[in-house]
Structure 1
């Protein structure tokens, strides 16, 4: 009897401890469930801003754009409830809202960089692009375009290269033919001159037939040169056509080395301003891209450096025919959705995006 009374309190203590442990795990599990909106179907708070073409309100007042439309598709496929929360265009406010847990994800045109990676976690990029340069359209005549192209250093380099190859072909034909073919015999000047003439005529497919190789070695060189000449001439013709067309687009195509020598404009606190600041290139700053492009139109600046996709969108919508965007881009920019580090939803989004890479058609120049 005494032993029975001694054991009873111990059993009660163990039972109480087990009940407490079970209650603690249950409480922890429930709190974990509440913290993940995916499991409890609490709406995901999606921060966005007016940032065309990535995120903006359409004519119906609904949010749309490259980033927004992609998010809608992902959310539909993964059955994720969400709501859009419009925030300031200032990127620092977006980041602060995300870190302060006022929103769960940022869906807009946010490019990944080293500084942001120290604070945030990013999804797989949905678009790869870069910085572009806008300039005024200056149409010129075809004749002007041809002359401008012919005095381009690149044109001289290509012509010299083709001339050099022609000389090599003529030289080898002369080596084989000089002693057995009167067309290429005689003095050195006469023989080598005729050989160069033959090589040029053959490459351009004119084929006068006034001078032809007769030896096996000479004809072998001739056959090789015929095929090489056709390829070279085709390349040269296509290259000239494209070059002249490009010259006709504008007299003011801006290259990287020219940015420090012109009046270059960009938007305050943008990737363009950071790029120019790092390279110690003085820039004229504007509060918005529209203001910068308007200044370009009025010839107050010579060019505008900004994110390529935004330049294309705004120019097409508001400055069509007056401004152009250079095909050359500076600095690679990867656009992605931003999350707080450790968010469960990030893994789901990444898995979806990787499985749909072919449909996303991600390209470096869009």
Structure 2
């Protein structure tokens, strides 16, 4: 009888605890991050909304969704004011010290959005690259060669070949014209040397000019290529000295700081950052590729923005769980793993135009 009474007493003590665990309402923080969390009025949808609702239903979890700013959500998760964050949080070592992460359910890269240049801006940029210091030096040398050999040709031909090289001040122009067409291998034939020294001068000009023009062309092409690469926005490090934007307290901002970007503007959301990019307040906006692509595709006002074919800093997304719910994290992680292995998960990703890497 004593054993039975003891079992009953223990059961009575355990019942409230068990019942409380099942009846507790989890506070679940979120902020919009299309296509993962999309909010239109009172309607919430998106990949993370579907995944959380499916997970909560399978585990019979009671919860209340709490809309928050991104920074406030992270702070609340660290202090335990909320129990779960269902945003696509990038798993980082610093964050893992403050709260728990579930198993990752999606992986993506960060990328770069820029404002597409107009036709006039592209033309001005090309002209700036073309008329550089190396080009001007080459042009000066070319003009000097034309002038020097033109004077020599006129000097040797002016007396014995006056029909082609007039024996007057006007003959200097004849020499310049002959030198230019000979150097550029055009060779109209309207003017030709007849004297021995004139022909020797022509030979030196033709062969020397051939080598010089080839070298000058290669030099200009190389210079244009180098300048284009150094000023091109197609590379990640090309923006290191420029003013760029990203989401504050995000994995992208942490990555940029680690790579010594000097001028970073932090934004509370993607839309304000892209608007500043459109208005020219920043030269680039760097953040998670699927979120940037979705925003630009869905918002007609951002149609002049483009995503560069640049990928860096792979991001592993997971839900955040407050430290006091470590056991809950294990249960949710296991359920997320089960769901993401199904064909249904692939269908959901495809509906929002995403594929996992």
> Given the two structures, how large is their TM-score scaled by the length of structure 2?
0.57
Asked if residue 80 in structure 1 is aligned to residue 60 in structure 2, the reply is yes
Measured after TM superposition, the shift of residue 92 of structure 1 is: 5.2
Aligned-residue RMSD, C-alpha? 3.5
Asked if residue 33 in structure 1 is aligned to residue 14 in structure 2, the reply is no
1:64 to 35, 41, 45: 45
Structure 1 alignment gaps of length 5 or more: 1-14, 152-246
2:116 to 128, 132, 137: 137
Q: Which residue of the partner structure matches residue 353 of structure 1?
A: 339
Asked if residue 326 in structure 1 is aligned to residue 308 in structure 2, the reply is yes
Q: Which residue of the partner structure matches residue 158 of structure 1?
A: none
How many pairs align? 241
> Given the two structures, how large is their TM-score scaled by the length of structure 1?
0.55
Q: Which residue of the partner structure matches residue 312 of structure 1?
A: 293
Measured after TM superposition, the shift of residue 333 of structure 1 is: 0.8
What do residues 212-253 of structure 1 show as CA deviations (whole Å, max 9, x unaligned)?
xxxxxxxxxxxxxxxxxxxxxxxxxxxxxxxxxxx9xxx954
Q: Which residue of the partner structure matches residue 37 of structure 2?
A: 55
Q: Which residue of the partner structure matches residue 241 of structure 2?
A: 261
Asked if residue 293 in structure 1 is aligned to residue 274 in structure 2, the reply is yes
Measured after TM superposition, the shift of residue 351 of structure 1 is: 4.5
Separation in structure 2 between the aligned mates of residue 91 and residue 345 of structure 1, nearest angstrom = 26
What do residues 25-72 of structure 1 show as CA deviations (whole Å, max 9, x unaligned)?
2144324413432xx6x554432223333223224x122122112222
8 Å CA contact retained: 1:273, 1:283: no
Q: Cα distance 1:263–1:105, how it changes in 2: closer, same or farther (>3 A)? A: closer
Separation in structure 1 between the aligned mates of residue 75 and residue 15 of structure 2, nearest angstrom = 29
What do residues 303-327 of structure 1 show as CA deviations (whole Å, max 9, x unaligned)?
1112222212222233443001122
Q: Cα distance 1:119–1:300, how it changes in 2: closer, same or farther (>3 A)? A: closer
- Which structure has the highest strand share of the two? 2
Measured after TM superposition, the shift of residue 255 of structure 1 is: 0.9
Separation in structure 1 between the aligned mates of residue 287 and residue 67 of structure 2, nearest angstrom = 22
Measured after TM superposition, the shift of residue 335 of structure 1 is: 1.0
Q: Cα distance 1:98–1:117, how it changes in 2: closer, same or farther (>3 A)? A: closer
Q: Which residue of the partner structure matches residue 201 of structure 1?
A: none
Q: Cα distance 1:120–1:28, how it changes in 2: closer, same or farther (>3 A)? A: farther
Question: Any idea what SS the aligned residue of 1:50 has?
Answer: coil
8 Å CA contact retained: 1:135, 1:252: no
Measured after TM superposition, the shift of residue 91 of structure 1 is: 3.9
Separation in structure 2 between the aligned mates of residue 24 and residue 104 of structure 1, nearest angstrom = 32
Mean Cα deviation higher: 22-31 or 307-316: 22-31
What do residues 267-291 of structure 1 show as CA deviations (whole Å, max 9, x unaligned)?
3322222212112211231434323
